[in-house]
Structure 1
Amino acid sequence: MSQAHAARTAVALAVLSLGGWQSSAWAQTPEAALQEVVVTAVHDHAPVQVVADPKQPRQPVPASDAADYLKSIPGFSAIRSGGSNSDPVFRGQFGSRLPLLTNGTTLLGACPGRMDAPSSYISPETYDALTVIKGPQTVAWGPGASAGVVRFDREKPQLGEQGIEFSASLLAGTAARSDQNVDFLAGNDQFYVRLTANHSQSKDYRDGNGRVVPAHWDKWNADVALGWTPDVDTWLELTAGAGDGEARYGGRGMDGTQFQRESAGLRFEKTNLSPVLRKLEAQIYTNRADHVMDNFSLRSFAPGGGMAMPMASNVRRTTTGLRTAATWQWSPATTLLTGVDALRSPHDKRMGSQMVPYTTKPWVRDAKFSNLGLFAELTQQLDADDKLLTGLRLDRAQAWRYPGVQGDSNHRERQALPSGFVRWERASPDGTTVYAGLGHVQRFPDYWELISPGNSTTAFQRLQPEKTTQIDVGASWKRQDWQAWTSAYVGQVQDYILFDYQGGMSSSVRNVQAHIAGWEAGASYRLNAALTAQGTLAYAWAQNTTDDRPLPQTPPLEAKLGLDYQQGAWNAGVLWRLVAAQHRHATGQGNVVGKDFGPSAGFGVFSVHAGYKVDRRLKLTAGIDNLFDRAYAEHLNLAGNAGFGLPAGVRIHEPGRTLWLRADLRY
């Protein structure tokens, strides 16, 4: 693909040129040490919140998309369909139940089967911070967030005296894996320009049995930001970005030959406006996903899956939105956040074939969605240790289906979808924190639930909003040599949206009643000055009470055990990932992407890594994932595609032994 090749060349040249300039700059500037940790499991940062640095090296091999990185956080898993572009799942919940935001904006994929899930357009390493808010415990970041909220953010730059900062990384690995990333910032105390760019590619991998799994991908992203900071209280930033790529999938009947992204936005922030009005935020944005899939460009065409000839489909979705928020400080103990957000998201499509290109066909609109939301969050400090947080949100959601029959069946609207939460937190001086919260979310059905199922006409007319009421509790402890945390939840879901499969990928969708529960836990202990042991555990349980069977697509119990070594310039570590067998399943049921195939076997995967700081600005890290070349498959998965000769009822296997080497530079 010419665009991907051009981006690969540009990014590689930029990284190499910056690296060459870096060597001469080291002797002239103060040294800022690279962090030395290789991330194997991300721990809770605060009550109901996880914060991570996505630029950090991690094991397994550094992530190619957002879903891949999120699997480092206990409670997350992903639906695998190939080598990249998986779909993230948190606590067994999926899709619009788990909004993924970039710099506070929403980008929605266009494929009816979520081949281009929102996570596939996100390159984690190009962002400064990853924040996960667990459960329905915020109302400030859009509608329908019953499972939680995931935010990838680029933060307001803080330039030093030299006025230039950059970081870069290069990665090489098994299956011709090759990544290049660069983040360049230049400016002064009033203006700045920031460029972030990345390229990632890999060929098909071999599983633990030595079998080739179709998994090739090649994709790139580039974003530029122009900022104005006339004083310490004012920030105005204009952003623009683009990306593209291709990926082939061993678990799908078509491959993605275009993942074109176009983004633009403007955000403004003003602090300390008055003793009461402490902060004002405003942003507008547009994100377009233009996606192409076919069954002949990245594979040899073979009839099947309802396609008797080489076919191509071009779909696009443009999401335009705005958000404003004001932070009020009524007293030192009382803070109120109020705001409004809105989005509009039309969906268009066109079809073609190898003989009649889709580019010769006109665009046809098949759907449009819009949402307008008002929200408020109040934080009340009760005393030195305790605080109470409450939030309320009201959404107006609309959906249009084209072409539709005349009358109400073409349009759906909910004037008032309420959501809210109340949470108590205690932070003791000894490092102990505890929390308990009750949240409720009403989620309007999304495009994939209303439009893409085979019975879309009846689904559009009768599918009800999903209503989740959930209790979240948790605690954390920090001492000199150890820390530990735990979080748990229990909830009831009215009108849970469930997919029933009739064979192959043909499905219908309906509402059922459900109960959900689960927990996560983690701990680390410093054994001595050089060694630290750590572990995490996550479990999710869900029951379809209407059908008296488990809810489908629920991940099994998972544990991670690690041992990290740090001494001088050297560091090393081991990671043992253990996943239990999953016997709670609902064969033939699932979501718009995947379904349960039955029970799955447990497995254990052992990985190792080591690193060396050549200089405070240069670090080399190497790793071996799946050291013993174990053959295994995740419970959440897609079946093999017969077009590649893979068994249609067997889950896609994960990579076998994988070697990788990464270089990090920072100035």
Structure 2
Amino acid sequence: MKKQILSLAVTLAVSELAMAGHDDDQNLVIEINRGLPQLETAIRETTTGVQASPVSDGGELLQSLTGVSAIRMGGRALDPVIRGQKETQLNILLDGGYIHGGCPNRMDPPTSYTSVDSYDRVTVIKGNRTVVYGGGGSGGTVLFERDWPMIDEKGYNVDLAGSYRGNGDQWELGADLVAGDDDGYIRFITHKGGAGDYEDGDGNDVSSRYDTKSNAILGGIRLGDNTTLQASFEKADEEDVSFPGAMMDSPYAKAKNSRIKLEHQFTQGALRQLKVEAYKSDVVHLMENTMMTSPSTSDTDGLRIVLDAHAADIDWTFGADMKNNDRDAEAFMISTGAPAFSQWPGVEIDQKGLFVEGEKALGNDDVVKAGVRYDHVKASASRTNESFGMGMGAHTPLSQYQTYYGESDIDSTEHNVGGFTSWTHRLNDQYTVETTLSRSVRTADATERYIARNPMMGNDWIGNPQIEPEKHHQLEVVFASNNDDLNWSLTGWYNRVDDYILRYNNGAADLYKNVDAALYGIEAEANYQFNDNLSLATSLSWLRGKNKDDNTDLSRISPLELNTSLDYVKNQWKLGAEWKLVAQQNDVCLSSDACGGQDVRETPGYGLVNVHGEYAAKSGFVVAMGVDNLFDKAYTLHESRDYVLDSDPVQVAEPGQNVWLRVSTKF
């Protein structure tokens, strides 16, 4: 399989992100930027937790990494959570562009529009370590990236892959075909998959069916010795997707993505490289239940201009970017066709940013890096005066904002300034320490500002048009050791948030307000190579989140987790086993509590064992198989959504025992 998930190399990006390369036997590389030594030598390790089995989308892949979890509502479209931060607290870019989903209830987070096999590299930057990829990003940045393809002498490459997971009859088929040479190429990627309902560890059916397909055409041409132009068009379609955790299903979701990239290398002077990237993403989405149907659209377009330079012994990156997102969503009664309420009443959020970043080596053992960015944000909603509902239930979004917030001023403008500074010091050939101090400002999204759902769906859910942006102030310290067969790292971080945007329930409605909050945690990872064939890896993550205004817990905070894996590699064979231990989560904020939080319950702990193996023939044919949740444990991710089972609210459960098979070939 061209993008082999089994043996994903987790690269510690210790210089520029592009320093991490591809291993000989795989093309998809996950890069984890933990800020480790930004010096001459890159530290590489294969880290436990990278999922061996097939994945349905990028969210399912990411949630297996240390410090990363996910919110499950159904069989796919897991919504990533990094260090307790989620949704637009994360900057997620697909092939250089943003895509914002079409569902106010997040049936389609950005990662749901990723077929993992179609990307060459996934870069995960935890916390705020760069200002290049847009404002916010307090929780981290995730880049799904495609490279200029390396083509064999014969002038073409073909990669074919398929997988099957028995629990839920989940299947995936994909093909990646590219032809050309160093002067230009054309590439076609196609993917199709589907699933039925899976069973949890107690034998209960979980409504999780879906059908999905995507097609992408990409091309590139070398305009000169130092200039390349690339363009792509991708279409993704989902049908009949079940979401028990959303109280609605999705008959369809369709996305169209266009990208164009121009790169030029300078050969003289201080300037080194120019990049110009433009993108457009259009999403059409429908959610439905027996009472209502809710169509929605989300259109995003943007531009990024980036210049790299070297002056005064400093490597500089500076540029400008812009992003505009238009969203519209309303709900209609199926029985009458009458409009019931507005979800996004013609929302437009426009962002324009300027940024500069610099890195300087201070001798052989020290590197300092810093960046700053300014963002101008304008938010407005054009349909807040339109009437929804009938009779005594008639209302406008504006009337709901006035009822709950006393607010009639709809438009807002922000001037947001963020940045970071880091110092990396190599104590000796073995030990390195890095300290990063950052500020990031995250503006509220369309839902937090303007959603206007009335009680016909159970209770009101009303956005706050004048909610203040979040200001995250983070301190992170990383201590790492690289000593031949044993590599390890220990990370501690603290994030004080002014004006944290808190969703809470006051008994009548879900509302938003600003509070002061703190998130903090520890992550530890180690890898020991017993010999050329056998290695042991382990990782631990611990996280807390507190509302400082009333000293209550924040919702959807991941519990303590310990992962240990043992891997054996010899010649063309690979064997592995993973043992995952997750503690119970009792530090919660329930909707029934005075804090009116989003947690479903105090989630019990669990332990899982996964096993897998792979054989790679010299001809290019690869077969892998394994069993996830070997002992058929019943468990749920703490962050997952709730739904009704036998009249009682429960969380959407994870799959029980799951036997899987993956085959691929390349020629």
Give the TM-score range, shorter chain.
0.7 to 0.9
Answer yes or no: is 1:501 the counterpart of 2:501. no
Deviation at 1:548, TM superposition (A): 1.2
Quote the residue 1:528 is aligned against.
531
Structure 1 contact 250–646 (Cα < 8 Å) conserved: no
**What is residue 47 of structure 1 aligned with on the other side?**
36
Report how far residue 402 of structure 1 moved.
2.6
Compared CA separation, residues 378 and 395, structure 1 to 2 (3 A): same
Q: Distance in 1 between matches of 2:181 and 2:52?
A: 38
CA distance in 2, matches of 1:476, 1:512: 35
8 A contact 1:34–1:619 mirrored in 2: no
Letter in 1 for 2:245: G
Structure 2-normalised TM-score?
Answer: 0.86
Closer, same or farther in 2 for the Cα pair 1:125/1:394, shift >3 Å? same
Q: Is 1:275 aligned to residue 269 of structure 2? A: yes
Aligned counterpart in structure 1 of residue 237 of structure 2, from 226, 244, 255 = 244
Please report how far the alpha carbon of residue 346 of structure 1 lies from its aligned counterpart in structure 2 after TM superposition: 1.0
Partner of 2:305: 324
Partner of 1:663: 663
In structure 2, what is the equivalent of residue 477 of structure 1?
Answer: 481
Q: For 1:209, give the aligned amino acid.
A: D
Tell me the distance in 2 between the aligned counterparts of 1:204 and 1:483.
Answer: 41
Residues 44/465 of structure 1: CA separation in 2 closer, same or farther (3 Å cut): closer
1:146-545 to structure 2, matched below 5 A, reads: 146-174=138-166, 175-246=168-239, 247-295=241-289, 301=290, 309=291, 311-331=292-312, 333-352=313-332, 354=334, 366-404=346-384, 409-414=409-414, 416-427=415-426, 430-452=429-451, 454=453, 459-502=463-506, 506-545=509-548
2:114 and 2:45 mapped to 1: Cα distance? 15
Equivalent AA in structure 1 for residue 379 of structure 2: A
- Decide whether the 8 Å contact of 1:312 with 1:358 is kept in 2: no
Aligned partner of 2:394 in structure 1 is none
Please say if 1:94 is aligned against 2:86: yes
CA 1:637–1:453: 2 relative to 1, 3 Å: farther
3-state SS in 2 of match to 1:409: coil
Q: Is the aligned partner of 1:108 residue 2:100?
A: yes
Shift of 1:69: 0.6
- Take 2:28 and 2:606, find their aligned partners in 1: how far apart are those partners? 23
Structure 1 counterpart of 2:55:
63
Cα deviation, residue 154, structure 1: 0.3
Measure the CA separation in 2 of the matches of 1:515 and 1:279: 39
2:258 maps to a residue whose letter is A
Matches within 5 A, 1:476-625: 476-502=480-506, 506-588=509-591, 595-625=598-628
Q: How many Å separate the matches in 2 of 1:457 and 1:586?
A: 18
**Aligned partners of 2:83 and 2:554: how far apart in 1?**
12
C-alpha separation in 2, matches of 1:646 and 1:608: 34
Partner of 2:70: 78
Sort the Cα spacing of 1:320 and 1:527 in 2 relative to 1 into closer, same or farther, 3 A. same
Structure 1 pair 391/42, CA: closer, same or farther in 2 (3 Å)?
closer
Q: 1:346 to 1:36 in 2, by over 3 A?
A: closer
CA distance in 2, matches of 1:572, 1:511: 49
| Structure 2 CA distance for partners of 1:169 and 1:605, relative to 1, 3 Å | same
User: In the alignment, residue 243 of structure 1 is paired with which amino acid?
Assistant: A
Q: Secondary structure at the match of 1:615?
A: coil
Q: Is the 1:240–1:265 Cα contact (8 Å) retained in structure 2?
A: yes
Deviations 1:22-70, CA, capped at 9 Å, x for gaps: xxxxxxxxxx99738999x98767529999999x996353211111110
Distance (whole Å) between structure 2 residues aligned to residue 387 and residue 38 of structure 1? 29
Unpaired segments ≥5 residues, structure 2: 1-21, 386-397, 399-406, 455-459
Q: CA deviation at 1:529?
A: 2.9
Distance 2:161 2:145 in 1: 19
Q: Which moved more, 1:438-447 or 1:270-279?
A: 270-279
Cα–Cα, structure 1 residues 524 and 402, in superposed 2: closer, same or farther, change >3 Å?
Answer: same
Structure 1 distance, partners of 2:604, 2:164, is 31
Q: 1:123 and 1:553, CA in 2 relative to 1: closer, same or farther beyond 3 A?
A: same
CA contact (8 A) 1:52 1:129 kept: no
Contact 2:461–2:511 (8 Å) recurs in 1: no
Rounded to whole Å, the distance in 2 between the matches of 1:279 and 1:547 is: 50
Q: CA deviation at 1:365?
A: 5.3
Distance, in Å, in 1 between the alignment partners of 2:82 and 2:34 is 17
Q: How many residues end up aligned between the 2 structures? A: 612
Matches of 1:553 and 1:571, distance apart in 2: 36
DSSP-derived class of the 2:643 partner: coil
Task: Give the TM-score taking structure 1 as reference length.
Answer: 0.86
1:194-230 deviation per Cα after TM superposition (whole angstroms, max 9, x unaligned): 1122112111000111111101111111111110114
Contact 1:594 1:638 in 2 (8 A): no
Which aligned pairs between 1:629-640 and structure 2 lie closer than 5 A? 629-640=632-643
- Residue pair 2:612, 2:625 contacting (<8 A) in 1 also: yes
Counterpart code for 1:370: D
How far residue 408 of structure 1 moved from its aligned partner, in angstroms, is: 7.1
Determine helix, strand or coil for the equivalent of 1:99. Answer: strand
**Contact 1:136/1:146 (CA < 8 Å) preserved in 2?**
yes
Residue 35 (str. 1) matches residue 25 (str. 2) = yes
Q: What's the CA shift for 1:124?
A: 1.8
CA distance in 1, matches of 2:89, 2:642: 24
Map Cα deviations across residues 396-451 of structure 1 (whole Å, 9 max, x no partner): 0011123236997231111x200011001135672543210100011111112111
Please state whether the residue corresponding to 1:553 is helix, strand or coil. Answer: coil
What amino acid sits opposite 2:541 in the alignment?
Answer: A
- Secondary structure of 2:409's partner? helix
Q: Once the two structures are superposed, what CA deviation does each residue of 1:627-647 show, in whole Å capped at 9, x if it has no partner?
A: 001111111111123xxx455
Post-superposition shift, 1:123? 1.7
- 1:358 Cα deviation from its structure 2 partner: 10
Partners of 1:378 and 1:391 within 8 A in 2: yes
Q: Aligned-pair RMSD on alpha carbons?
A: 3.1
8 Å contact kept, 2:345–2:450 = no
How far did residue 94 of structure 1 move? 0.8
Query: What amino acid does structure 1 have at the position aligned with 2:374?
Result: L
Alignment deviations for residues 148-206 of structure 1 (CA, whole Å, 9 cap, x no partner): 11110001223343221232211012121111122221112222101122112111000
Equivalent AA in structure 1 for residue 501 of structure 2: I
Query: Which residue of 2 is the match for residue 28 of structure 1?
Result: none
Tell me how far apart the structure 2 counterparts of residues 329 and 147 of structure 1 sit (CA, whole Å). 29
> 2:514, 2:501 → 1: CA distance?
5
Q: Is the 8 A contact 1:366 1:403 kept in 2?
A: yes
